[in-house]
Every structure is written in C-alpha cells, then in structure tokens.
Amino acid sequence: MNQELIKELGSLLEKEKKALTEELGTFAHPDKNVKGEWDANYENLGDGWDENSQEVTEYATRLPMEHSLETKLQDINDALEKIKNNSFGICEKCGEVINEERLRVNPSARNCTNHS
Ligand SMILES: [Zn+2]
C-alpha cells in the first residue's frame, strides 16, 4: 500500500481522534474499568422533582450521542493500530486492499466496498 497515503490518512485519523475525544469529554468520562469505553455524565442538578426529570432527560439524550462517538473513536483507534501493524487499508472480511477513494472518504473503514 502507498506509504504516503497511509501517512496522510494517519494524520487525519489522529486529528479526528483528538476532536472526538474532546467532544466526548464535554459530556462523558472514560470508563475506569474498561479501556476505550466511555460513560455519559449524569449531572446532579438538584433533588427536586423538576430537576430530577431534567437530569434524566439530559442523560437520555447524552447516551446515544456518547455511544455513536464512542463507536467512531473505537474505529479510529483500531485504524491507527492497523497502521502500526502494517494491516491498514485491508478488508477485515476478505483481506483485499480497500480502494483509495473509499479510504479518503472514511479512513477508518474496516471493509472493502463488497463487504460494507
Ligand atoms: Zn472485502
């Protein structure tokens, strides 16, 4: 695989990782027990009925956001790991090289166009 391209995509991935980590950090915190897992923050706004229901509503909107960002971050971490292991840009299903166009759109793609 083209080393220049890997370098270029690698730095894109690093940037995206930083941005995602910062975004997650605004409403979630890393799970102490499971590496790579994040937990949405549950904010204690007060003990009144109104405050409690607001807390639950906020938590409920944070959870899916946290999940989708966490999944993206996981994909990025895996892709960065693959760069280290020289297996970047290889389809996880068939072992074929993923085409450049696809990788440029999504550098953390795990599969080729046939297996997405
Ligand atoms: Zn494939």
Go through the domains of the chain in sequence order and give each one's CATH number. Answer: 3-115 (1.20.120.910)
**Residue pair 1/39 in contact by the 8 Å Cβ criterion:** no
Ligand 1 centre distance from Cα of residue 96 (Å): 6
In a structure prediction context, what are the per-residue pLDDT tens digits for the chain, which is 116 residues long?
A: 789 999 999 999 999 999 999 999 999 999 999 988 999 999 899 999 999 999 999 999 999 999 999 999 999 999 999 999 999 999 999 999 999 999 999 999 999 999 98
Cα 115 to Cα 41, 97, 104, distances in angstroms: 36, 12, 17
Ligand 1 centre distance from Cα of residue 63 (Å): 32
pTM of the model: 0.86
Q: Reduced to 3 states, what is the DSSP secondary structure of residue 40?
A: strand
Q: Which residues surround ligand 1, an ion (CB under 5 A)?
A: 91, 93-94, 112, 114-115
C-beta neighbour count of 49 within 10 angstroms = 8
Nearest residue to 70 (alpha-carbon basis) of 115, 40, 106: 40
